[in-house]
């Protein structure tokens, strides 16, 4: 059974804190992604990575950074959390090219509240 | 900029009825993905459509792809309450790796 596991289901952090969201996949996928999901806005891509130590900005990278030191693990970092980063964060992974027809598999999500 | 538009965004339908959700996208692509999300849960892959004219069916759901019109449809036949969920379509962006999602269609099936 394929699995993408996010380290926390719920997280509450204070404004200004540095926040780490961790994601691990066991499918040996090259690609990994971080999305945030907000009501009425759907899913928006924050960052993605197509290989270890490689990263690409998505549509809304401001205020975030990522780290991929190992193939199976992709971390999202909020350098200084702000209330407008309160959201549901979804991690996903896929094999090399989605244009080749393989879908992305999603983790269970982390609901982050910044107070 | 790649745009993926779904309509309707909200749909309330009675059990037993049929309906279609539409997904338009702005780039040339022959790959389209449908996902389902239950409240409080993550996204589950429903269909992967890989070419023009592709049609896939699973139970009461059928998805199709017209790449020339840049349109995919998700047709619901004889809806049942268990189909209540949010449905997303997605298209791979310029990188070929990352998916761009529509805003989702929130479906409620009532008795």
For A43, the closest chain B residue by CA position comes to B101
Q: B101 touching A, CB under 8 A?
A: yes
SS3 B70: coil
Other C-beta atoms lying within 10 Å of the C-beta of residue A40? 7
For A42, the closest chain B residue by CA position comes to B103
CA atoms within 13 A on the CB side of B40: 2
B96 or B74: which leads in pLDDT: B74
Report pLDDT for A64.
98
**Can you give the residue ranges of every domain in chain A?**
4-114
pLDDT per position as a tens digit, A16-74: 999 999 999 999 999 999 999 998 899 999 999 999 989 999 999 999 999 999 999 99
Terminal C-alpha separation, chain B? 41
Of B56, B6, B23, B102, whose CA–CA distance to A101 is shortest?
B56
pLDDT per position as a tens digit, B54-91: 999 999 999 999 999 999 999 999 999 999 999 999 99
Q: Which residues of A touch B29 (CB under 8 A)?
A: 99
Question: Is the peptide bond between B8 and the residue preceding it cis, with omega within 30 degrees of 0?
Answer: yes
Q: Report CB contact under 8 Å: B101, A104.
A: no
Chain mean pLDDT for chain B: 92
From A64-78, A100-114, B15-29, the region with the lowest mean pLDDT: A100-114
Say how far apart CA A64 and CA A113 lie, in whole Å: 15
> Is pLDDT of A97 > 70?
no
Option in A33, A102, A108 nearest B98 (CB)? A33
Q: B21 touching A, CB under 8 A?
A: no
Q: Give the 3-state secondary structure percentages of chain A, helix then strand then coil, rounded to 5.
A: 5, 50, 45
SS3 A100: helix
When pLDDT is averaged across residues B44-58 and rounded to a whole number, the result is 91
* Mutate which: A99, A102, A109, A110, vs B, most B CBs within 10 A: A99
Q: For residue B15, what pLDDT band results from cuts at 50, 70 and 90?
A: very high
Option in B42, B96, B102 nearest A98 (CB)? B96
Q: Report CB contact under 8 Å: A42, B88.
A: yes
Q: For residue A101, what pLDDT band results from cuts at 50, 70 and 90?
A: low
Q: Pairing state of beta strands B71-76 and B61-66?
A: antiparallel
Say how far apart CA B30 and CA B52 lie, in whole Å: 6
For B9, the closest chain A residue by CA position comes to A40
User: Residue A37 forms beta bridges with which residues?
Assistant: A43, A88
Q: Pairing state of beta strands A10-13 and A110-114?
A: parallel
Report pLDDT for B50.
84
Superfamily of domain A4-114: Immunoglobulins (2.60.40.10)
When pLDDT is averaged across residues B47-54 and rounded to a whole number, the result is 88
SS3 B45: strand
- Which phi and psi (to 5°) does residue A50 adopt? -105, 0
Q: B60 touching A, CB under 8 A?
A: no
Report pLDDT for B81.
95
- Which phi and psi (to 5°) does residue A35 adopt? -120, 155
Domains detected in chain B: 4-110 (2.60.40.10)
Q: Which residues of B touch A32 (CB under 8 A)?
A: none
Option in A41, A50, A107 nearest B97 (CB)? A50
Other C-beta atoms lying within 10 Å of the C-beta of residue B24? 15
> Is pLDDT of A79 > 60?
yes
């Amino acid at each position: 059974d394929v699995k993408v596991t996010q380290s926390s289901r719920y997280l509450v952090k204070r404004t200004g804190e540095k926040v780490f969201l961790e994601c691990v996949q066991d499918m040996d996928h090259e690609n990994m992604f971080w999305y945030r999901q907000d009501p009425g806005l759907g899913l928006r891509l924050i960052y993605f990575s197509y290989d270890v130590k490689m990263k690409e900005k998505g549509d809304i990278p401001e205020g975030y950074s990522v780290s991929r030191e190992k193939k199976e693990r992709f971390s999202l970092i909020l350098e200084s959390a702000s209330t407008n980063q309160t959201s549901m964060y979804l991690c996903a992974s896929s094999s090399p090219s989605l244009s080749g027809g393989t879908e992305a598999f999603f983790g269970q999500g982390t609901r982050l509240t910044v107070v | 900029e790649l745009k993926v538009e779904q309509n309707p965004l909200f749909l309330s339908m009675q059990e037993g009825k049929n309906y279609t959700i539409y997904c338009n996208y702005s780039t040339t692509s022959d790959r389209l993905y449908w996902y389902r999300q239950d409240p409080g849960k993550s996204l589950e892959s429903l269909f992967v459509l890989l070419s023009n004219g592709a049609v896939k069916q699973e139970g009461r759901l059928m998805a199709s792809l017209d790449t020339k019109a840049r349109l995919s449809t998700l047709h619901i036949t004889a809806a049942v309450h268990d189909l209540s969920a949010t449905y997303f379509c997605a298209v791979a962006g310029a990188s070929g790796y990352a998916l761009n999602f529509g805003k989702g269609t929130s479906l409620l099936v009532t008795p």
